[in-house]
């Protein structure tokens, strides 16, 4: 089946710094990628949708200047958390969709901001 990877799997950073998370579709071309946030013992919440070569579409309440998304190629999307603060600590999950309907999910990245 289709495989989506994320890197890093976990990261610890200091408050005020920026962190970049990569999402790659390994064996298919992803026309659309999605970024979710998951708090402990809670559900996934969609943050934004990105199409290759286009600006990302952010969900209501998500700060686009805080969470920068770049979908530069058909196999790579990046999420940059800028000027991270402890409240940004969370589990970030990406998913990717190719030509079909199904979304394939990455394993997630745990971000801890100290």
Partner 1 sequence: AQSVTQPDIHITVSEGASLELRCNYSYGATPYLFWYVQSPGQGLQLLLKYFSGDTLVQGIKGFEAEFKRSQSSFNLRKPSVHWSDAAEYFCAVEPTYTRGAQKLVFGQGTRLTINP
Q: Residue 102: which residues within 8 A CB-CB, separation 6 or more?
A: 2
Burial class (CB in 10 A: 0-12, 13-18, 19+), 86: exposed
The interface mask with partner 1, positions 20-59, x = CB under 8 A, is: ------------x-x------xxxxxx--x----------
The interface mask with partner 1, positions 1-20, x = CB under 8 A, is: ---x----x-----------
Whole-angstrom Cα distance, residue 77 to residue 95? 10
The window from 12-20, 65-73, 75-83, 90-98 that contacts partner 1 (CB under 8 A) reads 90-98
> Minimum distance from CB of 83 to partner 1 (Å)?
27
Helix (H, G, I), strand (E, B) or coil at 59: coil
Taking every pair of Cα atoms in the chain, the longest distance, rounded to a whole number of angstroms, is 40
The yes or no reply on residue 68 touching partner 1 (CB under 8 A) is no
Contacts with partner 1 by CB under 8 A lie at 4, 9, 32, 34, 41-46, 49, 93, 95, 97, 101-108
């Amino acid at each position: 089946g289709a495989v989506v990877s994320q890197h890093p799997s976990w990261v610890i950073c200091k408050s005020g710094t920026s962190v970049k998370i990569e999402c790659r579709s390994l064996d298919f071309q992803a026309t659309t990628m999605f970024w979710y946030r998951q708090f402990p013992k809670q559900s996934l919440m969609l943050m934004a949708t990105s199409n290759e070569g286009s600006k990302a579409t952010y969900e209501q309440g998500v700060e686009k200047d805080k969470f920068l998304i770049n979908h530069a190629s058909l196999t790579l999307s990046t999420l940059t958390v800028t000027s991270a603060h402890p409240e940004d600590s969370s589990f970030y999950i990406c998913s990717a969709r190719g030509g079909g309907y199904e979304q394939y999910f990455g394993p997630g990245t745990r971000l801890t901001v100290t």
